[in-house]
Structures are given as structure tokens and as C-alpha cells.
Amino acid sequence: MKILVCGDVEARSGREAIEAHLPYLKKRYSIDFIVINVDNAAGGFGITATIAKRFFELGADVLTGGNHIFDQAEIIPFLATEKRLLRPHNMPFNTPGTGVAEITAGGKKIVVIHISGYKNMPIVVNDPFEAISSLLQKYALRKNADAIVVDFHAEVTSEKNAIGHFVDGRVSILVGTHTHIPTRDERILELGTAFQTDIGMCGDYDSVIGMNKQAAIAKFSSGYMRTKLMSATGKATFCGLLVELDDLTGLARQVQFIKLGGCIC
């Protein structure tokens, strides 16, 4: 089985990169399952139902969010009915939506888990280690899941590294999202889990993590916001991690970082 996880989609440029590259990649690599992080897909702040539906049309099987998942108010009722769009599982218990998707594709059961980091995140969440431990008591490779994919949306690289090793051998893939910068440390961990600290973004890299660079520089250099941050509008780079799994174990056999188009191609 081949699974592609696409980095955070940043606004219109990121959406155009998905439109341009996802159908080609799916055909070129015979990809069986696709996960896209969409936390910044709508102008850099969350996602709308219209955008989500378009990603499904393009071949996405599951969409994950993050700390911006509720930025567009219209998405709340959509989250209640569309179980393929995830918010972080470890948000407070009464938060709308779900953080886990169970999808059958090609006769295989794939479980996608979306967890938020705790350190330095602008979001109220419970302990991510406790949350993932609880879920992995319910889902297990070779028992009731053919593949388990985890999107860990977090700021701190050490926290991402720690949780990767914490679940090593118990999930198929764990990738970090949120910081928009690809770390290029993609690898298979000791016990067989495919891992990358951060898979980067699908967005314009001639920017400050996807935002207009002049506005972002002004914010950092002055100590206050002079102009509203807006997403950069140049040509985007597509970033994602392609993983080939062993069909018998559900663990990784091969990992490949995908980087196409834009200024860091």
C-alpha cells in the first residue's frame, strides 16, 4: 500500500499546487490513500466546506486541520457531518467534530489520527501522549487496522521527535505538520514507523511560512502589527511524504519526500 501525506495547504497558492500536482502524483506512483493537512487552506485561516469538497474530488481520502480548524465559522456544521475532515483529537471533549477517521480503501482499513502538540501551541488541548496511548489501545496494526496514519500538528521539534519514538512500531506513519518548513529528516524509525519531523507546506515559499514577507518582517521588526498578515500569492511548492507500507505488517518499507514546483523545487 502507498500512502501520501501532503503538507499544510496555504491559501490559494497551496490549493493551486494541490490541483496541479495531486492527480499526477496519484497516477505516477499508484497511490492508494491520500491525507492532506488543510489548516490554512482558506486564505491562510482554516478551511471552508467548498474547499474541502474540492480536495475530496481531487482524490483526498482524509483532511486534517490544526489550530486554525475553526477559523471559518461555516465549517462547524460541516465538521459535524463530514467525518473525513478532522480536528485535533485531544481538544476538549465537547469540541465539535472528530479527530479520528476509519476509512476502507482497496479492501484495507486505514485509521487516520489527528493530534495537536501541547508545547507553545495557541490552542487548548489535552496531553497528546495520553491521547495517542488511549487510541492505540483501541487500534492496533495487524489486529483491527491495516494502516495507522498520524498527523501530529505541533510547534516544537523535540515534542514531534519524542512522540514519533513513543509510537514507533505501533503506527504506520507519523508526520509533523504546522511549522511549514520541511525538515528533510524523513526516515523509517527503528521499529518500522515512517517519520518526518515536519513535512512542510504546499504554499509559496517566497514568504514567511506562507505569509506576505513584507508584512511579516514589519511585525517582527517593530514589535506590533503594522498591516494585517496576508498569505503570499506566488507560485507554490508542493511538499509531502510518500510511504510504501508492508501489507503484512502495516509498517513502512520505503519513504520518499516529494517536493514539486515553486521556488524550492
> Does the active-site annotation cover 178?
no
Cell numbers for 118 = 501541547
Measured between its terminal Cα atoms, the distance across the chain in Å is: 26
Q: Which amino acid is at 62?
A: V
Q: Which residue has the cell 499544510?
A: 8
CA–CA gap between residue 3 and residue 99 (Å, rounded): 19
List C-alpha distances in Å: 144 to 99, 110, 111, 136, 249. Answer: 18, 9, 9, 11, 12
Apex 25 CA angle, 75 and 70, nearest 5: 15
Are 212 and 232 a contacting pair, CB within 8 Å? yes
Alpha helices in the chain (DSSP H): 11-28, 49-58, 75-81, 128-138, 157-166, 213-222
Residue 2 forms beta bridges with which residues? 244
CB-CB neighbours of 28 under 10 Å: 11
CA–CA gap between residue 22 and residue 5 (Å, rounded): 11
**For the packed helices 11-28 and 49-58, what is the interaxial angle rounded to 10 degrees?**
20
Q: Which residue has the cell 503538507?
A: 7
Spot the catalytic one: 21, 68, 89, 180: 68
Active site residues: 68
